[in-house]
Amino acid sequence: MERENSIFIKLINDMEREIKNLKGIYESDKQYVDEIDVIISKLKNIQSAFKPKEKILKERIRGINKILTDIEDIRSNKILKGIGEIYINIENNLLDGMEFRETENNNERLIVFENNEVGRINVLKNEEQNIIIGVNIYDKKEEFEINNPVRTYNIISFINTNFNYK
């Protein structure tokens, strides 16, 4: 009987030890769960703090995009105006009897002499203040880089010279 008592006490001690271990594991897990809850709460606070700022940032980005669109429109209008000035300046300095005629393409003009097409002039590249104009007179072709719409002497000279030598 004494042996049975000793086995019984040992089993009770083992059970007590296991229960303490389980309790320790549970308390440890509970502590982690509590920490996770605290972290989640902090993240929600951070998120709610950033929401108004996110809205403000989106509004400002929209404003910046509108400004960029307006700037691009102004730039495009300025370039188109510059191209128009280039065409007017060149046409005003062509030989007598020579004129431009518009085509379906706004960036291209026919060079006409006494109702006969003698060449074409068109915009090949149109970037910022840098415009590249292509000119064809009969079988001669040349490209010109224009930085200033008023400075088109080289184009006028090319047209007039190649027309006169034909």
Q: Per-residue pLDDT for 87 more than 70? A: yes
144 compared with 24, residue with greater pLDDT: 144
Helix H or strand E encompassing 56: helix 2-92
Beta bridge partners of 134: 122, 143
pTM for the full model? 0.49
Beta bridge partners of 121: 109, 135
To the nearest whole number, what is the mean pLDDT of the chain?
Answer: 81
Characterize 90-104 residue by residue with b for buried, 16 or more Cβ atoms within 10 angstroms of its Cβ, and e for exposed.
beeebeeebebeeee
Q: Are 159 and 150 in contact (CB under 8 A)?
A: no
Using DSSP's 3-state secondary structure scheme, residue 124 falls into strand
Locate the domains of the chain by residue range.
Answer: 84-164
149 compared with 40, residue with greater pLDDT: 40
Q: Read off the pLDDT of residues 4-44 as tens digits, 9 standing for 90 and up.
A: 777 877 777 777 788 777 777 777 667 776 777 787 788 78
Give me the mean pLDDT over the 75-104 stretch.
Answer: 81
